[in-house]
Structure 1
């Protein structure tokens, strides 16, 4: 499998918790599709204190995984939104 592109995309998005609307990440997203995974190396600003857990409402919004050999968060459907 191919590794993710080493050059980060120019488009930056803010990722929020769906339950309490608290900002979780500032992330360099590539492509136009929905948010399925977040590569840890593309997160520019992290607002969480615990891994994969919202600091406001303690909702688990993702799981840690290795995707194509790179550490990433696999998002749980409906738990986050971005703009």
Structure 2
């Protein structure tokens, strides 16, 4: 299987916690669909203290996994908001 493009898309989105609205990531997202996964190499700015946990309310919003051989965060449905 093909690996994701390292440079990736140009469009940057802000990902925040659905519950407490605190910012989590700035991420280079491709496509128009919902946020299902975040490739770690595409994260521009990481505001978390503990991986996969919100810095504001400490709620788990994702799980670490390998997708196509690349480290990524698999989002838990309804835990994050994307702008």
Q: TM-score range by the shorter chain?
A: over 0.9
Who is 1:62 aligned against?
62
Who is 1:32 aligned against?
32
CA offsets 1:16-51 (integer angstroms, 9 cap, x no match): 000000000000000000000000000000000000
- Structure 2, unmatched stretches of 5+, are none
Who is 2:4 aligned against?
4
Who is 1:82 aligned against?
82
Q: Where do 4+ consecutive residues of structure 1 move more than 2 Å?
A: none
Cα distance in 2, alignment partners of residues 25 and 6 from structure 1: 17
Q: Alpha carbon RMSD of aligned pairs, Å?
A: 0.6
Do 2:7 and 2:42's aligned partners in 1 also have CA atoms closer than 8 Å? no
TM-score (norm 2): 0.97
Secondary structure of 1:26 counterpart: strand
Q: How many residues align?
A: 83
- Structure 1, unmatched stretches of 5+, are none
